[in-house]
Structure 1
Amino acid sequence: MVRVEANRRDFLRWLATAGAGLAAAGIAPALFAQEAAAAGTDVVVVLGATVVDGTDAPARPNSAVVLVGDRIAWVGPAAELPHHAGARIVDGRGRYLIPGLWDMHTHGIDYEKLWPPLFLANGVTGIREMQGYDENRATRDKIVRGELLGPRVVLASSILDGPVSLLGPPITQVATPEEGRAAVRTAVEQGSDFVKVYFYLPKDVFLAIADECRRVGLPFAGHWPYRLRQVEAARAGQRTFEHLFGLSIATSRRRDEFLARLDATPFDPDAKRDFFNLARDLDRQAAQTYDPATAERHFAQLKALDNWVSPTFTVNRVMSSPTETYAHDPRLKYVSQDIVDYWADRLPMFTPATAEQIDQQNAYFEAQLRLVGAAHRAGLGVLGGTDCLNPYVFPGFSLHDELGYLVQAGLSPRQALQTVTRDAARFLGRSATAGTITPGKVADVVLLDANPLTDIRAVRRIDTVVTAGRVLDRARLTRMLADAETAAKQPLASANSRSVGLPVRGCC
């Protein structure tokens, strides 16, 4: 033990002299090494892998990546690494190392025995949880304190919607500008990372929320607010439009006609879903009347306002498919029967039933793929997210599906991967600390058995996940999946100590 400890100190001393990358990240290498030595911090070396670092740089074969605690400390050719006794070695030979993945649209992290292990086992080391409530705030805090193994969580406020809403508790309904401002202040008090806005907000309430978010320094994102044009909402500060709602209308040659019809239709408190169904139908029609010139102007305006699109193709594909399509998905073994029953009950509200409807929905989905491809080519930021907890959208697994759809939309495998690594970090304001395999950044990496730059399906072939410096090897990941499968066989209340039941109603 004494010799191992001495070797570790020797290795850290070398790091103090070789840590140019740390210095570039604003971290003093010598001080970093001294503090790590004093704390007895674990040292992990991923040796011999081809590094796909999340940037536009070429892949680097036969590399070494040194992780010290929760930081990437050094990246370089394996041949330049000195004797590293005392470090834990992860064999990367013949494998590919990528940054940890982010699912940028999730729900359900408070299903603690199911969701957190499923995310990590699929290489998802960070999530943007799109609805905040007491239970998932508690789960996030347990992860931060190290009491629960799970992904990093960026957590929304309670969903803010108008006095008429498709959703029920635990959302927050606001009817006046004063109530909207108060809801933003509550979000700050609750430690929310951003405010989530929804469809049916009145225009004056939306603008009050936007102004209060500016005042308190909290970003906001969410669904297209029907009573505003997308550019108007983006100009007020909305950072994303989720699920592609409204993008087809905004890029249609019949845009003004469709928007006028929506403007003339009230939100009916006695038939809350009617407006939503009308908007979806108009969006499907608009998808077949795409106008390149209109789209080019729209994309340029959104890009100038640093607005991003979060397609969530995975949930859109489910909603565009007949109800029975996913009824025998093998991944259902990881989901509680309570949730599966809920999915079976809710899904027929959204999915096509007749042959004509199925054809329409397939055409709509293909048009959405083309639309996102055009938006990406125009330089509009794209974020990879799934909307898990909606029917047949599985934590972790479905992000792999999402990456495949992004490639179908026209992104290269590298570009698709960047939507859930480098670009996700940039959107979240974490470029200095996350998103790429760079010295000084967090020690979240995934080791794959195949090259994701030649086939994006390689992200499914996971050998090892490192999250916050903790190594989860293949054996550990297999146990995590087995434990989740066992937990899924139990009643939901016993499978999860922190749950509000099923708070999600449709896409949110």
Structure 2
Amino acid sequence: MPKKLLALCLVFIFTITLHSQNNQQKTNSQWLIKNTNVVDVLSGKILKNRNILIESNKIIAISKKNKNYDNVPASNQIDASNKYVIPGLWDNHIHIEGENLVEDNLALFPVYLAYGITTVRDCASDLGEKVLSWRDQINSGSLLGPTIFTAGRKLEGINSIWKGDLEISNESELHLMLDKLDNYKVDFIKITESTLDGSLYTKSVLAAHNRGYLVSGHIPSNVSIETLIDNGLSSIEHASYVLRLGSDENEIISKLNSKEITKSQAEQLYYKNFNQEKAISNYKKLAKKGMTVTPTLIGGKQLAYLDENDHKNDAYLQYLTKRFTDNYQWRIGRMAGETAEQKQQKKDKYKRIAQQVPLMQKAGVTILAGSDSAALNTFVYPAAALTEELELFQNAGMQPKDILKTATINGAKFLKKSDTMGSVNEGKIADLVILNENPLIDIRAVNKVYGVFTKGQYFDRENLNNMLEIAKNKKIELDEKRK
């Protein structure tokens, strides 16, 4: 990077940091978003011609535009006429991962804000302690980025395929690891099933639940979804697991446990025997039990259509280092020998999974929008993948008003933060995105960001573009340094 450009970037970073520090000190400073359309995510309606008065980082009043706000400095008044204000977006499933990608991940934090994402739910990684530290720095105002809720590190079995897990083989080790997570002050517990025995997995869910945690996880092949819910599972991560609910899950699990069939054969039976009416009936049962599902469609879609989409010229790659994207090859390599039939099967399965999302939502299941963006997830780009996920929901048949809930109030409700987050209401934290277009007509309007208010600061389009430029140049700098 030219020295002059590097110096300019450093000045801008310093300015943002200083602005953040000043805003922390000026707790009584006020901002006004004027003459705008407020999107009420709870009712799915537009509140026209509203003024939003903000003090520090909290919404203190929402009123009709004829109210007098002369006390607000002109420099802090934002004219949002003919614009639409929504709550800051939530990506409810990401992984900030990679022990050798610390700088790479940190450089992407402002990119989330530039995409209108003010909150993320990090579902554990090998950077667990670092992410916890970043969470606290963002909360204190010393680091600019989205609010982070994190599981820290996830529970797994011995010799898991994932790096940095808390591996357990018995209940004693389980409680030691839960003690560790208690000390970390994690926001929820994440459990996966690479090598974790189904029985111990179930006990892990129950133990975490009994400690008062929300528990998110995958579904082991030999334990039913109903059993895990009854033991305290709070959310199913990835909609691929819910395809089980279109078959007699207990019968297939019984055959699996008696070794009549293999795990691979069980998966084939779930797909082959899938009955949509049975699935919808079971979705209603999930809803009655208060279950939440984070579909993460985008990852499956990217892999299913890898043979049709050339990602070499994707614009977002300008923000990702070579070291980051080198991780994409492990999934690409695993798919290299697939036949045309196998590729079509992947597409068909993706389509069926996507079809389930609006059906689950109509049945009453709480849906969370989450991208599963991570260095290990091929072409699932941090920040950008969330807006793609929302578009996939719309393509599957969900209505924009329901889609918007999945990326705003639903995340807040799941984490029991809806009293202070997730919607544009008086008394709530002012995480707000100003859009040029109405997202209740077409959810793709979330890509038309005019400005973002978060952490007591307002970033107009120019500032957001500067953030993206800095991220682009940081990528260049890191790639050059590592040659």
Query: Smaller-chain TM-score range?
Result: 0.7 to 0.9
Query: Displacement of 1:255 after TM fit?
Result: 4.0
| Deviation of the 1:411 alpha carbon | 1.4
SS of 2:379's partner is: coil
Task: Specify which of 304, 307, 322 is matched with residue 288 of structure 2.
Answer: 304
Question: Using the alignment, how far apart are the partners of 2:259 and 2:320 within structure 1?
Answer: 39
Distance in structure 1 (CA, Å) of the matches to 2:480 and 2:201? 36
Residue 216 of structure 1, CA deviation: 2.2
Residues 285 and 92 (structure 1), Cα distance of their counterparts in 2 relative to 1, 3 Å cut: farther
Structure 1, unmatched stretches of 5+, are: 1-35, 267-273, 496-508
How far residue 289 of structure 1 moved from its aligned partner, in angstroms, is 3.6
Q: Which residue of 2 aligns with 1:349?
A: 334
The amino acid across from 1:445 in the alignment is: L
CA deviations 1:95-149 (Å, max 9, x no partner) are 1110000000011275444321111110000000000512211221221221210
Q: 2:81 aligned with 1:93, yes or no?
A: yes
For residues 45-194 of structure 1, what are the structure 2 equivalents within 5 Å?
45-86=32-73, 88-108=76-96, 111-132=104-125, 133-167=128-162, 169-194=163-188
User: What is the root-mean-square deviation of aligned Cα atoms in Å?
Assistant: 2.5
1:20-75 residue CA offsets vs partner (Å, 9 max, x unmatched) = xxxxxxxxxxxxxxxx9x95522111111111032115201221111111101111
Question: 1:378: how far off?
Answer: 0.6
Please tell me the residue identity of whatever aligns with 2:90.
Answer: W
Question: Which residue number in structure 2 is paired with residue 14 of structure 1?
Answer: none
For the residues of structure 1 that align with 2:224 and 2:405, how far apart are their CA atoms? Answer: 29
Distance 1:214 1:295, change over 3 A: same
- Say whether the 8 Å CA contact 1:50–1:96 is kept in structure 2: yes
The answer to whether the 8 Å contact 1:64/1:81 transfers is no
Residue 207 of structure 2 is aligned with which of 201, 204, 212?
212
Q: Match for residue 331 of structure 1?
A: 316
Task: Please give the alpha-carbon distance, in whole angstroms, between the structure 2 residues aligned to 1:93 and 1:185.
Answer: 52
- Aligned-partner Cα distance in 2 for 1:488–1:284: 42
Which SS does the other structure have where 1:170 is aligned? coil
Determine the C-alpha separation between the residues in 1 that align with 2:268 and 2:51.
Answer: 49
- 1:263-278 aligned within 5 A: 263-264=257-258, 278=264
The correspondence for 1:364, drawn from 349, 354, 358, is 349
For 1:351-371, what per-residue CA distance to the aligned partner results, in whole angstroms no more than 9, with x for missing partners? 784321222111111111111
1:442 aligned counterpart, secondary structure: coil
Specify the alignment match of 1:195 in structure 2.
Answer: 189
Give the Cα–Cα distance (whole angstroms) in 2 for the partners of residues 352 and 407 of structure 1: 32
CA contact (8 A) 2:222 2:253 kept: no
* Cα pair distance change 1:346/1:99, threshold 3 Å: same
Q: Is the 8 A contact 2:52 2:61 kept in 1?
A: yes
- Cα deviation 1:322-350 (Å, max 9, x = unaligned): 25642331211111111112212433325
Give percent identity, aligned residues only: 25
Give me the whole-angstrom Cα distance separating, in 2, the residues matched to 1:352 and 1:376: 36
For 1:231-281, what per-residue CA distance to the aligned partner results, in whole angstroms no more than 9, with x for missing partners? 1101111111111232112223x6455434543459xxxxxxx95xx2xx7
SS of equivalent to 2:91:
strand
- The question of whether the paired residues in 2 share the 8 Å contact of 1:320 and 1:361 is answered with yes
Matches within 5 A, 1:404-415: 404-415=391-402
Q: What is the DSSP-based 3-state SS (H/G/I as helix, E as strand, rest coil) of the residue aligned with 1:385?
A: coil
Amino acid at match of 1:117: P
SS for the counterpart of 1:61 is strand
Partner of 2:153: helix, strand, or coil?
strand
The alpha-carbon deviation at position 301 of structure 1 amounts to 2.5
Q: Which residue of 2 aligns with 1:25?
A: none
Number of residue pairs matched by the alignment: 447
Provide the C-alpha distance between the structure 1 equivalents of 2:27 and 2:306, rounded to a whole number of angstroms: 56
Which residue of 1 is the match for residue 216 of structure 2?
221
Structure 1's 113 and 161: CA in aligned 2 closer, same or farther, altered over 3 A? closer
The verdict on how the C-alpha distance between 1:475 and 1:219 changes in structure 2, with shifts beyond 3 A counting, is: same
Contact 2:58 2:429 in 1 (8 A): yes
Bigger mean CA offset, 283-292 vs 394-403: 283-292
The equivalent residue for 1:500 is none
Q: Distance in 1 between matches of 2:292 and 2:479?
A: 35
Q: Aligned residue for 2:10?
A: none
* C-alpha deviation, 1:434, in angstroms: 0.5
Q: Secondary structure at the match of 1:80?
A: coil
Match of 2:425 in 1: 438
Q: CA deviation at 1:285?
A: 5.5
Given that residues 246 and 283 in structure 1 are in contact (C-alpha distance below 8 angstroms), is that contact kept between their aligned partners in structure 2? no
Deviation at 1:166, TM superposition (A): 2.4
Q: Is the 8 A contact 1:314 1:393 kept in 2?
A: yes
Aligned to 2:368: 383
